Amino acid sequence: MAGQTDHSLSIFSAAEVEFIAEDEMIEIVPNIRMDALNLLCGDFGPFLPQIPCTVPLWLAVALKKRGKCSIRTPDWMSVEKLTQVLEAERESPREFQPLPFHYVEISRLLLDHAHDDIPEVYMVRSLIEDIRNVRFHKVESGLETISGRTHAVKLKNLSAMEVNVVRPFMARVLQAFYKHDSPEMVQQADTSASKRPQVVDRGPRVSLSCVTC
């Protein structure tokens, strides 16, 4: 758990990432009648009982806490979809499955605040945990493949929380490699005395746990 343990290295704390994720939109079913809310981030509503409408997650959670609505679980959070994703994650060790960018945070918020609206909540919870573990494991095992000649790493479908955890570490590693590599490269250039352009010498792009979709 290279970066995961040391949170001081991350640019954002987990709470901050969660805060960002709260701007994601989600569908709720209000059980109150309320006029439209005109907020800085947009107009939401009007709210009519039993008629679904789309609001930011923070508003959904706020309403939910007051018992004014039920949150509709997003499609990807159904047991069926999650099982598929988990299987696919396990089957393809070098790829990440497309999930919402903030899937960790959204699922966490929903499981914390709206667990009564999620069908088969225990199953969903354990599936998401599994998916998260599989993906983090993939990131970590991928990190091992970074060698001295790696200058860039391409990661597709990585989610916010995962990026947040590995980014500082990864950046530093690459930086360090670069720093230690450079004298060697200079030396090489001296010994060979060739006028090859430097680009060739720069290590190949290693695609770590890379995806080509």
Residue 161: partners with Cβ closer than 8 Å, 6 or more residues away: 14, 17, 102, 104, 105
Q: How far is the CB of 70 from another protein (least distance, A)?
A: 7
Q: 122, 171, 114, 177: which is closest to 150 by C-alpha?
A: 177
Nearer to another protein, 19 or 122 (CB): 122
Half-sphere exposure of 23 (CA within 13 A, CB side): 9
Separation between Cα atoms, residue 30 and residue 88, nearest integer Å: 35
User: Are the C-beta atoms of residues 185 and 29 closer than 8 Å to each other?
Assistant: no
Secondary structure of 108-156 in HEC code, one letter for each residue: HHHHHHCHHHCCCHHHHHHHHHHHHHHHHHHHHHHHHCCCCCCCCECCC
Using CB under 8 A as the binding rule, the residues of this chain from 148 to 187 that contact another protein are none
Give the per-residue contact string, 88-127, with another protein (x = CB under 8 A; - = no): -------------------------------x--------
Instruction: Single out the residue of 18, 59, 70, 161 in contact with another protein (rule: CB under 8 A).
Output: 70
Told to check if 29 binds another protein by CB under 8 A, we report: yes
Using CB under 8 A, which of the segments 66-74, 132-140, 149-157, 178-186 binds another protein? 66-74
Residue with tokens 């999650």: 82
Separation between Cα atoms, residue 150 and residue 207, nearest integer Å: 9
Nearer to another protein, 30 or 142 (CB): 30
Using CB under 8 A, which of the segments 47-55, 57-65, 74-82, 151-159 binds another protein? 47-55
Using CB under 8 A, which of the segments 63-71, 80-88, 134-142, 175-183 binds another protein? 63-71
Using CB under 8 A, which of the segments 64-72, 120-128, 139-147, 185-193 binds another protein? 64-72
Instruction: Say how many Å lie between the first and final Cα of the chain, rounded.
Output: 27
User: Using CB under 8 A as the criterion, which residues of the chain lie in contact with another protein when the complex forms?
Assistant: 29, 31-34, 49-52, 67-68, 70, 72, 119
